[in-house]
Structure formats: structure tokens, C-alpha cells
Structure 1
Amino acid sequence: MQYYDVAKIINTHGLNGELKVSLITDFPEERFSAGSELALKDDTDRVLTVKKGRPFKQFWLVEFEEITDIDQAEKLKGKTLVISEANQQELPEGVYYYRDIMGCQVIDNDSNEEIGEITDIESPGANDIWLVKEKNGNEFWLPYIKDVVKKVDVENKKIYVELMEGLRDED
């Protein structure tokens, strides 16, 4: 079974087993909602059930049903929480996991010509931007908006785009 990193346990918080975690997921509200099941990366048979989770500064504080005191929590410091593929919910339409977008071929929607490949993703604001590396080595950022990204074909690792003027450095 495939597992995906969700968060790294940084420290304990309080005496009742609450843990401070740094996020590796884009979906903390779902991952740390009550009843959500996570496992430890180095011991995927050990399932932890979220009792409650809440944002705290740039981290999240998470309580698990199975961890009830600071001694149990101490043992988890430095470990990574993972979710099994089976426990991942379906993503809403138009939302993708980074792993599904990275490495996709970028194709011109009109000419069907290959432009390049997605090599990085950033979330600077309202929408993500995807870094496209062209065959000639040039790079440019592609905004993930309806006007530009026309079709995402995760199965075949292809993204069809309509490039607006000024996106690429064309001489």
C-alpha cells in the first residue's frame, strides 16, 4: 500500500499528549479532522485516530485518541505522520496532488506542440503557479487559472495550456 507524508511531529504540547506538527499536506483541515486515521511512517501498522486538530501559529496542534499523556507523546517526536492511499478522500474537481502535477508534459492546446515539463509548484497567493522547464532549458511560471490551463490529464501526465502573451520570454 502507498503512503503519503502529512506532517512531521516537532514537539509535545501540554501534558495531555497533544502534539505540535509541521505540515507537509495541503489539506490540514481534512487530515486533522476528528476521526481521521494517520499512521507513523516507520510503523504503518500503528494507526492513530485524530481526536482533534487546530492551527497554532505556523503549525498545527493535534490530539490522538491513542496518545493520552506527555510520556507517550515524547516517544513520537521527530516522527512523520502519513496517510494511506485508501484513507485519502477524493479531491474536488480541479484540485490535484502536487505529485500528480510534477513531471507532467505541458502541451499547447492549439498546436498540440510540447512546450516543456512541470518542475516546481508554488502557492504565492490566490492560485498556484507551476514552473515549466522548456526543452531549450528556459523556464517560466504558469498560473493555474482557467484562462491558461485548459485540461489536466493526470493519467497520461499531460497538461494542455493556452499561453497568454508575455508568459514566456520570447524574443
Structure 2
Amino acid sequence: MEDLFQVGIITTTHGVRGEVKVFPTTDDPARFKKLKRVLLDTGKEKLALEICQVKFFKNLVILKFRGIDNINDVEKYKGKSLLISREQAVTCEEGEYFIADLIGLKVTTEEGQFLGEVKDVLQTGANDVYVIQVDGDSPYASRVSDKKKELLLPAIQECILQIDLEQRRMQVHLMAGLLEEG
């Protein structure tokens, strides 16, 4: 399981005093008000930064970091991710999962047949949709119409029977119409 979660991406600078505009990748951008520290993923290393000011503008969060007081000091971080540790993350309710924890889960049918693995999670508003990369050796591979061999599975109780993060497995029910009839 992932130990670090992305909460935002620096889009650009804001003003000349070292502030940055951040596109939030968290469900609740207001949580930046409660965050004291984040990790900046520079690509080479992860820098610990202390947040000393938070403002909101349209769909962005404007952050000021302690010790960074010049536009030139932050300009190089455009496009870089801001991360938090699992301990800083919000607590999931029962039946809720971090997307990062779902990616890579091995997916089997209720009959125990291997289907593939979770490749992505699409957030549609009504319910999430799990993108399953169907394994070429799976008995279902020939019944998936997509050339990429992806199956879109709605994250609803009727389809998702069990998720076991410790075993890295997901058991699913394939509803009628999800697969092409071959």
C-alpha cells in the first residue's frame, strides 16, 4: 500500500513573494487549512515544507511556505506534486478506500476465476468506476470488446463483492451486459 498520497499539484506562482497556486487532488480542498506540512516531490527528492498561509481562489488553493519568500525560489516547482503521509490522510469510513490502495488489486470473479487487475479509478460523480485491465490468459479476455482489454466495472455493491487490501484482492460479480456475448 502507498505511504504517500498526492493532495495537489503546483500549477504556477502567485505574486512575487513565493506563493504558489495549487490544483487540489483531494476530495476536500478545505483540508489544506488543517495541514501544517507537505512533501514536495521534486522528481529527485522529497522536500518537507511547512505551510504558513492558505488562501482559496476559484478552484485553486494558494499556499505560502515558510522560508520561501521569492518567486524565483518556487518557480522551478511548477508541475510538481504535493504529498502527505498516510498518517496525515483523512480516515476512510467503512467501505471507503484510497484510490492509490485500489490500483494493482488482483480481481477475481465470484466463481474464483482470475479476471485481471485494477488499473485506474474513474470518478464520475454518481459512483466510481473501476478500470480493470483484463489479463490475456483470463477466460474473459475474448469477451472484452475493448482493444486495450479494459473492463469498466461500476463501484456498486452489486458488482464489488469484497475488497481485501491486505491480500491485495478484489472479488467481483459480473452483471449481465458487462461482457460481450461471444
Q: TM-score range by the shorter chain?
A: 0.7 to 0.9
Name the residue aligned to 2:82.
81
Question: 2:87, 2:117 → 1: CA distance?
Answer: 29
Work out whether 1:128 is the aligned partner of 2:139: no
Runs (5+) with no aligned partner, structure 2: 145-149
Runs (5+) with no aligned partner, structure 1: none
- The structural deviation recorded for 1:104 is 1.0
Question: 1:85, 1:21 → 2: CA distance?
Answer: 20
More deviation, 8-17/133-142: 8-17
Work out whether 1:167 is the aligned partner of 2:178: yes
Preserved CA contact (<8 Å) 1:11 1:74: no
Question: 1:80, 1:133 → 2: CA distance?
Answer: 26
More deviation, 84-93/137-146: 84-93
Preserved CA contact (<8 Å) 1:130 1:143: yes
CA gap 1:130/1:162 in 2 versus in 1, 3 angstroms: same
- The structural deviation recorded for 1:163 is 1.6
- The structural deviation recorded for 1:103 is 1.4
Q: What is the count of residue pairs matched by the alignment?
A: 165
Letter in 1 for 2:40: L
Question: 2:91, 2:73 → 1: CA distance?
Answer: 32
Preserved CA contact (<8 Å) 1:49 1:64: yes
Question: 2:103, 2:131 → 1: CA distance?
Answer: 9
CA gap 1:51/1:95 in 2 versus in 1, 3 angstroms: farther
Preserved CA contact (<8 Å) 1:34 1:49: no
Q: How much is the aligned-residue C-alpha RMSD, in angstroms? A: 2.8
Work out whether 1:142 is the aligned partner of 2:153: yes
Letter in 2 for 1:98: I
CA gap 1:68/1:114 in 2 versus in 1, 3 angstroms: closer
Relative to the length of structure 2, the TM-score reads: 0.73
Question: 1:146, 1:55 → 2: CA distance?
Answer: 37
Aligned-partner SS, 2:21? strand
Question: 1:15, 1:45 → 2: CA distance?
Answer: 21
State the Cα deviation string for residues 114-155 of structure 1 (Å, max 9, x = none): 222212221133111111222334421000111211111111
Name the residue aligned to 1:61.
61
Letter in 2 for 1:151: Q
Preserved CA contact (<8 Å) 1:120 1:132: yes
Name the residue aligned to 1:48.
50
Relative to the length of structure 1, the TM-score reads: 0.77
Work out whether 1:119 is the aligned partner of 2:119: yes
Question: 2:47, 2:68 → 1: CA distance?
Answer: 19
Name the residue aligned to 1:9.
10
Preserved CA contact (<8 Å) 2:109 2:173: yes
Name the residue aligned to 2:38.
38
CA gap 1:45/1:116 in 2 versus in 1, 3 angstroms: closer
Question: 2:174, 2:57 → 1: CA distance?
Answer: 37
Name the residue aligned to 1:26.
26
